[in-house]
Homo-oligomer: A and B are copies of this chain.
Amino acid sequence: MFAVLKQDVSQEQLDHLSMWLRSRGVEPHVFHGVYQTVVGLVGDTSNIDIDLLRGLDIIDSVTRISEPFKSANRKFHPDDTVVKLGDRAIGGGNFEIIAGPCSVESEQQIVDIAKAVKASGAGLLRGGAFKPRTSPYDFQGLRAEGLEFLLEAKQVTGMPIVTEIMSASHLELFEDVDVIQVGARNMQNFELLKELGHCNKAILLKRGLANTMKELLMSAEYIMSGGNENIILCERGIRTYETYTRNTLDLSAVPMLHELTHLPVVVDPSHATGLSRLVLPMAMAAAACGADGLMIEVHNDPKHALCDGAQSLTPEQFDEVARKVAKVREVL
């Protein structure tokens, strides 16, 4: 870490700063440039709060050199993490498609979709039981009942299941869930992340709407620092000024995260674009740049569910996606 001092800092102020840094286990190396003085901090800077340091009156700017994440950092753990899920795995060359409806609506619905997507090659089943909705007036999911239907579909098809948690107080309901999803809006719900660090389930951690890759990795670090290292990262689009698509899918995050961390990275093109007709091209693009998996919304009953699941693909459309993605994977 480097701190650039303001021009008019006195020796006394510099000494005071140095003393304070040493009290935190960090050795300051002072370095006089042409215009400004720089203090290099050598040692374990992870217990230096960069925002606080930056706010000091004598400080012009602070730059962190080592990434603040450790457990998630590829520098210290060069080998890919492989998250094993029954007879399936994600990461380290293992690629899986997680497919299913936005919301679990009935036992029949989720079992039918599960069978269909399994037949097309999906390895995991997703389905929302607890739904985070911007509006309190929108459907909030079937909640506990939805989880039961999902578990029924797991039993019928043998597919591991992925579903979202919205509060640590619901954790006991997730006992038979294979992968607990942390949604974009809860990526920095730190109390929830801490709890998940103490459970022994795989976590699918979605990047927040306006969170950097570094913050995503720090949130993974929260879970890992509790002892749970089974984390799958998920890029699902970030918020920009563009309005033709719901969010902007940041596919360069896939190879960039692979460089920064050993954790697997999957891509959710359904939520990112909000348009089912963009799912095929973006799924292919995600596979082409090295994603370890995809998360795709599929619904089954377009006639009666005119709207519910409208952003989703039909099972037939999903089948095409799965086939074309497999071909892209062959090229890699």
Interface: A296 (CB within 8 A): no
Among candidates B46, B167, B249, residue contacting A135 with C-beta atoms closer than 8 Å: B46
**Contact A56–B307 (Cβ < 8 Å):** yes
| Interface positions of A from 17 to 67, Cβ below 8 Å from B | 17, 20, 29, 31, 33-36, 38, 40, 42-44, 46-47, 49, 51-57, 60-61, 63, 65-66
Interface residues on A, range: 35 or more
Q: Is A172 positioned at the interface, with any CB of B under 8 Å from its CB?
A: no
- Find A324's partner among B239, B324, B331 (CB 8 Å cutoff): B331
Residue among B51, B212, B244, B254 making CB contact with A242, cutoff 8 Å: B212
Q: Which residue of B lies closest to A36 (CB)?
A: B65
Complex: A275 Cα to B308 Cα, angstroms:
37
Task: Return chain B residues, CB-CB under 8 Å to A260.
Answer: 244
Chain B residue with Cβ nearest A55: B311
Segment touching B, from A112-120, A145-153, A198-206, A213-221: A213-221
> Do residues B63 and A2 form an inter-chain contact, with CB atoms below 8 A?
yes
Contact among B20, B36, B137, B278 for A47, CB-based, below 8 A: B137
User: Min CB distance, A141 to chain B, in Å?
Assistant: 11
Bound complex: CA A207 to CA B55 (Å): 22
The reply to whether the CB of A12 lies closer than 8 angstroms to some CB of chain B is no
Chain B minimum-CB-distance residue to A195: B167
Q: Which of A227-253 contact B (CB under 8 A)?
A: 238-246, 248-253
Contacts of A7 in B (CB 8 A): 75
> Does A4 interact with chain B (Cβ within 8 Å)?
yes
Q: How many angstroms from the CA of A255 to the CA of B281 in the assembled complex?
A: 7
Nearest B-chain residue to A62, judged by Cβ: B63
Residue contact B328 to A288, C-beta cutoff 8 Å: yes
Which of A82-90, A121-129, A154-162, A186-194 is the contact stretch? A186-194
- Could you pull out 16 A-B pairs where Cβ atoms are within 8 angstroms? A17-B306, A36-B65, A36-B66, A38-B40, A49-B139, A51-B274, A52-B307, A52-B308, A135-B218, A167-B168, A210-B241, A214-B244, A240-B241, A281-B290, A285-B288, A327-B331
By Cβ-Cβ distance, the 10 closest A-B pairs, closest first, are A210-B210, A55-B311, A288-B288, A281-B289, A285-B285, A285-B289, A167-B191, A185-B188, A55-B310, A284-B288
